[in-house]
Amino acid sequence: MSALQSLPISDVNRREVKRFVKFAIVGVAGMATHLTLANIFNFGLHFPDALANAIGFMTAVIQNYLLNYSWTFRDKQSARTKSRWVQAGQFGLVSLIGLAINALVREIVSFIFHPIWLSVIPNPALAEIVNYNFSIIAAIGVVLFWNFGANRLWTFRNRA
């Protein structure tokens, strides 16, 4: 018996928990892509913070759509009443709103934690890197719930 099967919840809720776990696993892969590209573009190629973050975010969005379509929401494909292109457009719109939420949260977290990192990390350049990555991770954590909810209820919703 799996840990998920031992939970005292209905089969429908169990499927949703399983779907959310899959969505989160895809999200971790997306976070790795996002952080890697954001750091390369920001610290390696000296792009502005917001642009580097947006490049990493949007690349991860494409990766996440493909993985969510083929794995997380695979069971929704047989009941699909809209084309894959419409779904991709909806996923993209949800993700653009997610990018706006990400940017806002990242700026707030960065503003709050920047002086803290500078006070505890003696190397200012390292403090900047830690602050940048910490703020992105915090923003991803917030956006995860928006993305899952909006995509589950709109992009990959059953029409039947």
Q: Is residue 50 part of a domain?
A: yes
Cα–Cα distance between 131 and 115 in angstroms, integer?
9
Q: Is residue 4 part of a domain?
A: no
Q: Is residue 69 part of a domain?
A: yes
Q: How many CB atoms lie within 10 A of CB 58?
A: 16
Q: How far apart are the first and last CA of the chain?
A: 32
Q: Report pLDDT for 2.
A: 63
Q: Is residue 21 part of a domain?
A: yes
Q: Is residue 88 part of a domain?
A: yes
List the structure tokens of 13.
Answer: 């809720």
Q: Report pLDDT for 160.
A: 47
Q: Is residue 1 part of a domain?
A: no
Q: Is residue 2 part of a domain?
A: no
DSSP 10: -
Instruction: Give the distance, in angstroms, between the CA of residue 134 and the centroid of all CA atoms in the same chain.
Output: 14
Q: Report pLDDT for 85.
A: 86
Q: Report pLDDT for 98.
A: 93
Q: Is 8 left (phi over 0), alpha (psi -120 to 50) or beta?
A: beta
Cα–Cα distance between 30 and 3 in angstroms, integer?
25
Count of domains in the chain? 1
Cα–Cα distance between 150 and 93 in angstroms, integer?
10
Series of mean pLDDT values for 10-residue runs along the chain (160 residues): 60 82 92 96 96 94 90 70 84 92 96 97 96 95 90 77
Range of the domain at 24: 11-155
Q: Is residue 3 part of a domain?
A: no
